[in-house]
Amino acid sequence: MKILVTGLENSCGKAVSKILAQNLEVEGHEEYDGNMRVLDDNHLVSHMSLPSGERTFFFIPKIKDWDAIVVVTRDYNCALESKVRTNQTDRKFATQENEKGLYILSGMMKFDNVHVFSYESWFLLGDAYVSRILKDIGIEYTNTLQAKNCNEKYINETVYLTKEN
């Protein structure tokens, strides 16, 4: 099975790639950190955030080349803030890149082999959510990975509720 995991930079695509590789039991999945790709004779899991490559170039994947494409989403403002702190420190350019990335991702949504994986849904619903997404792709969910609260540091503490509330 060939699976591409994509989304805006800092949308938690690495974690989703890791979940897929573990549950497909791709050779080398134990050491796979979710970045780039892992493959064996039967499976390929590839992670590519948008933008990919040079900041002026956006790779647009050929949809038909993949058995499944997983578009990973996360709260836009949290992903943008994370991107500004790590990958693209100029907020204006970071926003422009995200807008281009969103345009590409939106165009992908019309294809049947494209699935959306929401970080927030994973955090709130846990294994039940992941199991459903993987089942839709044709993968049995046996190896779990717990969602961490990646958004916490980007949200004003006075306005957000924790999972326990």
Residue 71 belongs to a domain = yes
Residue 165 belongs to a domain = no
DSSP structure string for 23-35: HHT-TTTTT--SS
Q: Stretch 124-152: mean pLDDT, rounded?
A: 86
Chain segment 101-114, per-residue pLDDT in tens: 898 899 999 999 99
Q: Stretch 79-90: mean pLDDT, rounded?
A: 86
Count of the separate structural domains present in the chain: 1
Tokens of 91: 């907020």
Q: Which residues contact 62 (CB under 8 A, 6 or more apart)?
A: none
State yes or no: pLDDT of 154 exceeds 70.
Answer: no
What range defines the domain where residue 28 resides? 2-154
Residue 25 belongs to a domain = yes
The per-residue pLDDT of the chain, averaged, comes to 85
State yes or no: pLDDT of 157 exceeds 90.
Answer: no
Burial class (CB in 10 A: 0-12, 13-18, 19+), 16: buried
Residue with the bigger pLDDT between 106 and 145: it is 106
State yes or no: pLDDT of 161 exceeds 50.
Answer: no
Predicted TM-score of the model (pTM): 0.85
Neighbours of 18 (CB within 10 A): 21
Q: What CATH number corresponds to the domain at position 95?
A: 3.40.50.300
Residue 97 belongs to a domain = yes
